[in-house]
Amino acid sequence: MAIACPRCNTQNPDTNAFCQACGTPLASFIAQPAAPPMGPPPGLAPPVVGPPPSAPPPGAPPPPPQYQSPYYAPAPGYAQPPVHRTPWVLIVSAVVGLVVIMAGAGTAYAFLNNRNSNPSGSSDLLPSPSPAGSPSPVASATATPASGGTASNATFSVTVPAGWVISSKDSTTIALTDANGNAVAITSGTSNPPQTAQQNKDSLDKSLAAKAPDAHQCPNTKVTNGSVNGAPGIFWQMCFTLTSGSQSVQAAAPLFAGANADGSVFYGIVLLTLASNKDNFIAEAAPVLASIKWGLH
């Protein structure tokens, strides 16, 4: 027969003296006789016990409670259930095992994915500076047709193709986003003190390195010189892990950093997309880049 706990209503076997859920004494235990008091465990000082109590005279204040040992000596043969179940070796082994298994699985997974993503090893044929050396964007036949909308600020203007939106805009920078969330940021302004294209490139590299744990030049790409619609500068491509909130993606950023002849004007372009989508997005963004009209020279 099960006994319901008077406190939490848990059903307990009738052999239980305490509720197995909350520890409350059960009804079957209440009438149980008291166990004899025990002394302290070995190694502890024995309690100081006074003379045996005598009955107090009527009207006298109640006597102070006698010493009651808080300890007991386990009865011979009684096996106390173990306090702990898991040996420390097992705990540490589980964690070391986790590290080894995950290290093996993670590395194997990365190897397999890496092999699958570069089956022909043809990435060395990528059009490295593609957003790209002056005329190439214009020549792209697969480009998204422009809607005719234009975004402009004090330093340049750019055509916004159909399906793209202006995600941010200020006096020197305009950022556009396509329907898939890929972004193009364009900037131009005056430099004081004057900066060369190489110095502008170094600033961009430093800025990316501060925002990503592993920013590096994309494999099989080169740094080249060229121009975008008359603005001379440097093309290169950076790959990095973009972690934002709980999301982390492998991103690629084809970049252009330029300066006019005396370094008083800077030009910059960043394309931002998934690393796996880099070449497609370079082609998609080509008409946008081709439509840039720089206002400062």
Partner 1 sequence: MRCDHCAQDAPDGVFCTRCGAHQGTTLESGKAKSREHRYAAHPSEHVAQPSVFTTLFPHLGHNKIHEFRWAFIAGLAGVLLLYVAGLITAAILVSAFLVPVLYLIYLYEAQVYRDEPAIVLGFTIGGGVVVGIVVTLFERVIYNPFQYFPSPFGGAGISVGGVLILGLLIPVIQEALKPIPAFFLPNRADFPETVDGLVFGVAAGLGFSVAETLIGFSNTLANLPPHVAPGTWIYDLATLAIFQPLLQGSATGMIVATIWRFRRGRLGGREIGGVAMAVIAHVAFSTGTVLMKDAGINPLFVLVWQAVVVGALLIYIRYLLHYSLLEEAAHMGFAETVCPNCHMHIVASGFCPNCGMALSAAPTSVRRGRRPRAEPAAAKKT
Say whether the peptide bond before residue 94 is cis (omega within 30 degrees of 0).
no
Buried/exposed code over 199-215 (b: 16+ C-beta within 10 A; e: otherwise): bbbeebbeebeeebeeb
Nearer to partner 1, 63 or 135 (CB): 63
* Distance of alpha carbon 186 from alpha carbon 229, whole angstroms: 13
What residues from 135 to 164 belong to the interface with partner 1 (CB under 8 A)? none
- What is the smallest separation between the CB atom of 139 and partner 1, expressed in angstroms? 26
- What is the smallest separation between the CB atom of 3 and partner 1, expressed in angstroms? 13
The angle at the Cα of 18, spanning 13 to 20, to the nearest 5 degrees, equals: 65
Annotate each residue in 78-107 with x if it binds partner 1 (CB under 8 A) or - if it does not, as one string.
--xxxxxxx-x-xxx-xxx-xx--xxxxxx
Nearer to partner 1, 17 or 139 (CB): 17
Nearer to partner 1, 186 or 286 (CB): 186
Rounded CA Rg of the chain: 39
> Binding of partner 1 at residue 210 (CB under 8 A)?
yes
Nearer to partner 1, 47 or 194 (CB): 47
Please pick, from the candidates 14, 190, 249, 297, the single residue that binds partner 1 as defined by CB under 8 A.
249
What tokens appear for 196 in the block? 């060369």
Helix (H) or strand (E) segment spanning residue 183: strand 183-190
- What is the smallest separation between the CB atom of 270 and partner 1, expressed in angstroms? 6
- What is the smallest separation between the CB atom of 175 and partner 1, expressed in angstroms? 7
> Binding of partner 1 at residue 230 (CB under 8 A)?
no
Please pick, from the candidates 143, 251, 282, 290, the single residue that binds partner 1 as defined by CB under 8 A.
251
Helix (H) or strand (E) segment spanning residue 101: helix 88-117
Helix (H) or strand (E) segment spanning residue 235: strand 231-244
